[in-house]
Amino acid sequence: MSRVIDLRGFKKIFLMIFICFLAATSAVSFVSFRYPLKYIDIIEENTQLYEIDPSWVCAIIHAESKFAVKALSHKGASGLMQVTEATAEWIAERMRLPEYNYESIFDPDINIKIGCNYLAWLLNHYRDNMNLALAAYNAGSGNVDKWLKNPEYSKDGASLDYIPFAETRDYVKRVNANRKIYLLLLKNRQA
């Protein structure tokens, strides 16, 4: 009789392990589906060039377009990293991209190149303060520069205590939350 009890206990333990395995596999599949790692070779190449952690660019792309190559915003931004025509043309000129035209912004290679260069410029402009760079990526550097000069929004002129645009406040929070997930996904990818 003790063998039957041991066998039943073993079956219960095996069933619990199997259920945990299925739950873990489903969770990983869900996260991978919800937070894709598309174009990672292009992202890693460009982030290495500009010394930016690739998890930031993945997080920005997720917040901007959810990795939809043909994404268009109501504000006229396009592609994976949602770059406006004026910004794309300014960055392309700075980068001396051969044969650039705005229609090519939907090419993941071009879009990520331009987006990473712009992010690097913002990080340099804001002395590596990623939250300021993210706020400027969303609301424009002109707005962020004004906010930094306003004691209502910045006590020290170097960081923001309050972001007056709700969309930009939410954007910075969303990108930071996305980044935590992409840090884990990229770490697991390398393992």
CB 104 within 8 A of CB 92: no
Sequence spans of domains, the chain: 1-34, 39-190
Nearest partner of 114 among 38, 36, 42, 37, judged by Cα: 42
* The predicted structure's pLDDT at residue 3: 52
Amino acid letter for position 135: A
Could you tell me the two tokens for 80?
């994976």
Q: Which of 29-33, 94-98, 174-178 has the highest mean pLDDT?
A: 174-178
* The predicted structure's pLDDT at residue 56: 98
Average pLDDT for 167-183:
97
Is 64 considered catalytic here?
Answer: yes
Q: Does 69 have pLDDT greater than 50?
A: yes
Q: For the residues of 122-165, what is the DSSP string, one character each?
A: HHHHTTT-HHHHHHHHHH-HHHHHHHHH-TTT-SSSSS-S--S-
Q: How many helices (H) and strands (E) does the chain have?
A: 8, 0
Length of the chain as a residue count: 191
* The predicted structure's pLDDT at residue 123: 98
Amino acid letter for position 10: F
Nearest partner of 42 among 100, 94, 110, judged by Cα: 110
* The predicted structure's pLDDT at residue 22: 46
Label residue 34 by pLDDT band (50, 70, 90).
confident
* The predicted structure's pLDDT at residue 98: 84
The three-class DSSP label of residue 99 is: coil
Residue range 104-128, pLDDT digits in tens: 999 999 999 999 999 999 999 999 9
* Chain centre to alpha carbon of residue 89: 22
Q: Does 130 have pLDDT greater than 80?
A: yes
Which one is catalytic: 44, 51, 64, 103? 64
* The predicted structure's pLDDT at residue 14: 60
CATH topology of domain 39-190: Lysozyme (1.10.530)
Q: What is the pTM of this model?
A: 0.83
